[in-house]
Chains A and B, each alone.
Chain A
Amino acid sequence: MTDFDAIVIGAGNAGLTAATALQRGGARTLLLERHNIPGGCATSFVRGEFEFEVALHQLSGMGTEKSPFIMRKIFSDLGIMDQLNIVEERELYRVVMPSKENSSISGFEHEIDVTLPANIKALKKTLCAHYPEESESIEAYLTLCEKLSLECFMMLPRAQKMSDQKILDSTCPNYIKYGLRPSKDVLNEFFSNKDLKAVIAAYWCYIGLPPKDIPFCDLAVMIYAYAAFKPCHVQGGSQAISSALLESFLTAGGKVLFNTGAAKIITENEQVKGVQTEHGDIFTCEHIISNTSPQHTFNELLDIPTPKEAADDMKSRRLGTSAFVLYLGLDCTPKEIGITAASNFIIDDRDEEVAFDTMQGIKDPTHTMLTCYNHDDPSFAPEGKSSLSLLCLQYGQAWQDLPVEEYAQAKYDFAEKLIDHAERAFPNIRKNIEEVEVATPLTMMRYLNTPGGAIYGFQQNTQDAVMFRDRISAISGLHMAGCWNGMGGFQPTYMIGESTARAVLKKIKKQKQSEIQQQELTHA
Chain B
Amino acid sequence: MPNTNTENNILHAVDGYNDALLHQNELTKSGTDFNEQNGRVANTIASLHPKRIQLVVSEVIVDTASTKTLRFKAEDNFLPPFQAGQYINLFVNIDGTETARPYAISSAPQERGFYDLTIKRVADGFVSHFLLDDVEVGDHFQSTGPMGTFYHNPLFHGDDLVFLAGGSGIAPARSMILNMIENTLLINKQTNKLGARKIHLVYASSYEADVIYEDELKNLEKEHEFLTVTWLISRPTKNYIGRTGHINAQLLTELLGDDLELFQSKMFYICGPTSFHDFCAEQLQQLKVKAKRVRIECNGPPKHPEELAGWPENLIASDKVTVTIHKADGSQGQFEARVDEPLLNSMERNGYSAENACRSGECSLCRVKVLKGSVFNPAEARLRSTDEAYGWCHSCVAFPTSDVELLV
CB of A259 within 8 A of CB of B80, answer no
Stretch at the interface among B8-16, B135-143, B208-216, B253-261: B8-16
**A315-B31, A317-B31, A451-B40 known; A331 vs B292 contact (CB < 8 Å):** yes
CB of B1 within 8 A of CB of A312, answer yes
Whether, in the assembled complex, B41 has its beta carbon less than 8 Å from a beta carbon of chain A, the answer is yes
Stretch at the interface among B62-70, B231-239, B384-392: B384-392
Residue of B nearest to A31 (CB): B328
- Residue interface bits B1-30, CB-to-A below 8 A is 1, else 0: 111110011110111110111011001100
CB of B155 within 8 A of CB of A176, answer no
Interface size on A (CB < 8 Å)? 87
Whether, in the assembled complex, A340 has its beta carbon less than 8 Å from a beta carbon of chain B, the answer is no
Residue of B nearest to A240 (CB): B386
Whether, in the assembled complex, A175 has its beta carbon less than 8 Å from a beta carbon of chain B, the answer is yes
Whether, in the assembled complex, A343 has its beta carbon less than 8 Å from a beta carbon of chain B, the answer is no
Q: Which of B9, B32, B384 contacts A46 (CB 8 A)?
A: B384
- Residue interface bits A12-54, CB-to-B below 8 A is 1, else 0: 0000000000000000001000001100000011111101000
Whether, in the assembled complex, A362 has its beta carbon less than 8 Å from a beta carbon of chain B, the answer is no
Q: Which of A168, A435, A446 contacts B10 (CB 8 A)?
A: A168
CB of B384 within 8 A of CB of A239, answer yes
**A178-B15, A181-B15, A463-B27 known; A51 vs B385 contact (CB < 8 Å):** yes
Whether, in the assembled complex, A169 has its beta carbon less than 8 Å from a beta carbon of chain B, the answer is yes
Whether, in the assembled complex, A199 has its beta carbon less than 8 Å from a beta carbon of chain B, the answer is no
Q: How far is the CA of A317 from the CA of B27 in the complex (A)?
A: 7
Whether, in the assembled complex, B367 has its beta carbon less than 8 Å from a beta carbon of chain A, the answer is yes
Q: How far is the CA of A296 from the CA of B42 in the complex (A)?
A: 10
Shortest beta-carbon contacts, A-B, top 4: A180-B16, A434-B292, A311-B33, A315-B31
Stretch at the interface among B44-52, B164-172, B344-352: B44-52
Query: Taking the nearest CB of chain A, how far is it from the CB of B347, in angstroms?
Result: 14
Query: Taking the nearest CB of chain B, how far is it from the CB of A516, in angstroms?
Result: 26
Residue of B nearest to A474 (CB): B1
Query: Taking the nearest CB of chain B, how far is it from the CB of A12, in angstroms?
Result: 15
CB of B32 within 8 A of CB of A461, answer no
Stretch at the interface among A67-75, A121-129, A364-372, A400-408: A400-408
Stretch at the interface among A55-63, A412-420, A498-506: A412-420
- Residues of B within 8 Å of A179, CB to CB, are 14-16
CB of B44 within 8 A of CB of A442, answer yes
Q: How far is the CA of A244 from the CA of B8 in the complex (A)?
A: 44
- Residues of A within 8 Å of B39, CB to CB, are 300
Q: Which of B10, B24, B83, B389 contacts A316 (CB 8 A)?
A: B24
**A239-B384, A316-B31 known; A419 vs B11 contact (CB < 8 Å):** no
CB of B386 within 8 A of CB of A438, answer no
CB of A181 within 8 A of CB of B16, answer yes
Whether, in the assembled complex, B252 has its beta carbon less than 8 Å from a beta carbon of chain A, the answer is no
Q: Which of B20, B81, B390 contacts A180 (CB 8 A)?
A: B20
**A247-B390, A415-B155 known; A461 vs B23 contact (CB < 8 Å):** yes
Stretch at the interface among A136-144, A158-166, A203-211: A158-166
Whether, in the assembled complex, A430 has its beta carbon less than 8 Å from a beta carbon of chain B, the answer is yes
CB of B15 within 8 A of CB of A446, answer no
- Residues of B within 8 Å of A299, CB to CB, are 33-35, 37-38
Q: How far is the CA of A13 from the CA of B83 in the complex (A)?
A: 32
